[in-house]
């Protein structure tokens, strides 16, 4: 049951002064903060975090974009110069690397039962246009695929969070060494479990 998840408050969250509010959401639900740091992401870390060689992820990004364009009656060739899902995925990956390395970010790890799923719920849908009120993205952002792709940039959605237990296990050691991760007891543990 005990899981860890990586959360990164992206540059827009930091410059908008939302770091405290965002961290509170996880603390208040009972998740334990076990690591945290403010840093400027290097290209090398960004490229490991968003690996351009994950074919399924690249194609998924491309497919999502094509569906979106269909909905808004936008011609992908006119807008992006291609309708190939791999090519579009690569383009978005580059936008993501540029976004996450564009300014300081606050990275942290939270721990607790169902941490990965809980964190995703608290963050809300990837697209702020669709994320529910009460979630971080739903409360503090309005961006959409359409706006982002038209501006040739990543969707500004304030936070990254690990998408699965496997993703968390891959991501956490990229961002933190084991000596930067702490163990302690939260007072709520006795009450909430
Ligand atoms: P997440 O796990 O909810 O962050 O979403 P994904 O792993 O699917 O995507 C990673 C990041 O890529 C998102 O957080 C957005 O910043 C960005 N992104 C996702 N979909 C799109 C899209 O269709 N267009 C653009 N420009 N960026 C996207
Ligand atoms: Mg993801």
Q: Residue 130, Cα to own-chain centre: how many angstroms?
A: 15
Residue 190 lies in a domain: no
Q: Residues with Cβ < 8 Å from 184, sequence gap 6 or more?
A: 32
Q: Residues with Cβ < 8 Å from 23, sequence gap 6 or more?
A: 9, 33, 36, 106, 108
CATH code of the domain covering residue 165: 3.30.70.141
Residue 193 lies in a domain: no
Q: What confidence tens digit (pLDDT) does each residue in 66-96 have?
A: 998 898 898 999 988 999 999 999 999 999 9
Residue 64's pLDDT band, with cuts at 50, 70 and 90, is confident
CA of 57 to the centre of ligand 2 (A): 9
Residue 103 lies in a domain: yes
Question: How many domains are contained in the chain?
Answer: 1
pLDDT, averaged across the chain: 95
Task: Say how many residues make up the chain.
Answer: 193
Q: Whose CA is nearest to atom 22 of ligand 1?
A: 145
Q: Cβ(140)–Cβ(157) under 8 Å?
A: no
DSSP structural state of residue 134: T
DSSP structural state of residue 22: H
Range with lowest mean pLDDT among 27-36, 37-46, 146-155: 146-155
Q: Is the CB of 93 under 6 A from ligand 1?
A: no
Residue 68 lies in a domain: yes
CA of 155 to the centre of ligand 1 (A): 6
Residue 160 lies in a domain: yes
Residue that the structure tokens 């994950």 belong to: 54
Residue 130 lies in a domain: no
pLDDT at 40: 98
Domain that holds residue 87: 2-121+136-183
């Amino acid at each position: 049951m005990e899981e860890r998840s990586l959360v990164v408050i992206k540059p827009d969250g930091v410059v908008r002064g939302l770091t405290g509010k965002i961290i509170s959401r996880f603390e208040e639900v009972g998740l334990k903060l076990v690591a945290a740091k403010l840093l400027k992401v290097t290209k090398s870390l960004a490229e490991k975090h968003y690996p351009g060689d994950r074919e399924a992820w690249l194609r998924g990004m491309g497919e999502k974009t094509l569906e979106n364009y269909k909905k808004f009656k936008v011609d992908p060739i006119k807008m992006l110069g291609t309708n190939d899902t791999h090519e579009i995925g690569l383009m978005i990956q580059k936008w993501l690397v540029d976004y996450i390395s564009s300014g300081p970010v606050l990275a942290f790890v939270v721990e607790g039962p169902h941490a990965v799923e809980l964190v995703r719920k608290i963050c809300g849908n990837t697209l702020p246009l669709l994320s529910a009120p009460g979630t971080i993205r739903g409360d503090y952002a309005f961006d959409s695929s359409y706006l982002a792709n038209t501006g040739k940039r990543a969707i500004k959605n304030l936070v990254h969070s690990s998408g699965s237990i496997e993703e968390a296990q891959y991501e956490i050691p990229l961002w933190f060494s084991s000596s930067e991760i702490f163990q302690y007891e939260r007072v709520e543990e006795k009450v909430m479990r």
